Every structure is written in structure tokens, then in C-alpha cells.
Amino acid sequence: MKSTNPVDPLAQGAACATDGPISACGLPSKVVIDMSKASVRHTDAEWQKLLTPEQYRVARLQGTEPPFQNAYWDNHEDGVFFSVCSDTPLFDSRDKFESGTGWPSFTKAIEPLFVAVERDSSYGMIRDEVHCTTDGAHLGHAFDDGPPPTGMRYCINSASLRFMPRKQYEAWVAARAVPVAVK
């Protein structure tokens, strides 16, 4: 899946500030994601059919979308953000905050088991790459400069997410609830 050739971040579609240095979020990741435990798997050709070209570039090729020009950076609706590659709820809008980076930012994941963080030391920086454990989708990066109570900032690409309004999410959860056996 991943090329081992050096990659020019700007050729990969990395976003950067127009008048300044490239931000830590604005570079693609070079982390090798271990897919051996992922439960949702497809070939590259299948992913390309299932996703838009931008979703594929970001979620499967570990790219980065431009800041302030993506679907969810300024979304203030109440609901839940899922992985674009599976039916995995990742982030709640109640944990979203304005980071000023131009990407949706969250203080925590809905369920820590659904996201994994791997050290990314590409491009002369040390960052923590975030991906979905269910499907291996590259989500973005995590930083320890977020607000209380967690102090974390999960800087996430909109192209890796799909949004579900709260009422629809509640119905989705109810439809998947496992009935409790009565004794």
C-alpha cells in the first residue's frame, strides 16, 4: 500500500499556510499501519471504488486536506463523526472545539479502542498519527496542546469522517442494541 520512496509533501496535496511554515497537521503521515487486527479490509481497488478520490487520498494514502477548506472544520451541529471507511463512531461533536487550525479538533475519541496512535517522525517532526483501528483509515494527528479536561487535540481530516446528526445516531445505536436476557 505505502510507497517507501521519499515523498514531496506538497506534491501529496499537503496543506500549508500561504504565508508561513507548514503546520504540523498539514503534512501527510508516513506511519506504517498494522492492518493485521483490522476487521474491515478491502483491496486498494475496492477502496478506490468505495471512496471519493479525496477520501481515498487522505484515509488510505495518509494524505492531508487543506485547512479551512474542508467539510467539518466549522461544523457546529450536534452529532457523531464516523470513519468514512466503516461504521465506526469515532468522535462526538460534544468533544469538538475551535482549535484555530482549520481542521476539526476533538479532545477525545468516543471509545479509545476505536482509535490508535502511532509515532510519526517523518519530515523532521515528531507527531502522533491517529488511525481507526477497525478499518485502518488515517484520521490525522494528536497533540497534547488541547483544552481541559484531557489536554489533547485530535486534529482530524474531514475527508476521513462522515457526520451523523444526534437523533439519527441515537436511532443507529438503538438498532444495534443487544437485548438483555431476562431471568
pLDDT of 139-167, one tens digit each? 999 999 999 999 999 999 999 999 999 99
| Dihedral sign computed on CA atoms, order 127, 52, 108, 118 | negative
- Model pLDDT, residue 15: 35
Set of cell numbers at residue 133: 483501528
- Taking the C-alpha atoms of residue 22 and residue 24, their distance in angstroms, rounded to an integer, is 7
Q: Is 85 a catalytic residue?
A: no
**Which residue in the list 25, 85, 132, 155 is annotated as catalytic?**
155
- The H-or-E segment that residue 140 falls in is strand 138-143
Q: Which of 34-38, 80-84, 140-144 has the highest mean pLDDT?
A: 80-84
| pTM assigned to the model | 0.79
Provide the pLDDT confidence category of residue 35 given band limits of 50, 70 and 90.
Answer: low
Q: Provide mean pLDDT across the span 12-21.
A: 34
pLDDT number for residue 27: 57
d(CA 48, CA 152): 32
Q: What is the pLDDT of residue 7?
A: 32
Topology, domain 37-175? 2.170.150
**Where residue 37 falls among pLDDT bands split at 50, 70, 90?**
low
Domain boundaries, given as residue ranges, for the chain: 37-175
Write down the pLDDT at residue 123: 72
Say yes or no to pLDDT of 83 above 50. yes
Spatial distance between the Cα atoms of 59 and 44, rounded to a whole number of angstroms: 12
Instruction: Inform me whether the pLDDT recorded for 4 exceeds 50.
Output: no
Which pLDDT score, from 0 to 100, does residue 36 have?
A: 54
Predicted confidence at residue 33, as pLDDT, reads 55
Local confidence band at 51 (pLDDT 50, 70, 90 cut-offs): very high
Q: Are 1 and 44 in contact (CB under 8 A)?
A: yes
Alpha helices in the chain (DSSP H): 44-50, 53-55, 166-176
Determine the pLDDT at residue 98.
94
Q: Residue 31's pLDDT is what?
A: 54
pLDDT, mean of residues 22-28: 54
Q: Are 86 and 135 in contact (CB under 8 A)?
A: yes
The predicted pLDDT at position 25 comes to 59
- Looking at per-residue pLDDT, the higher value among 23 and 158 belongs to 158
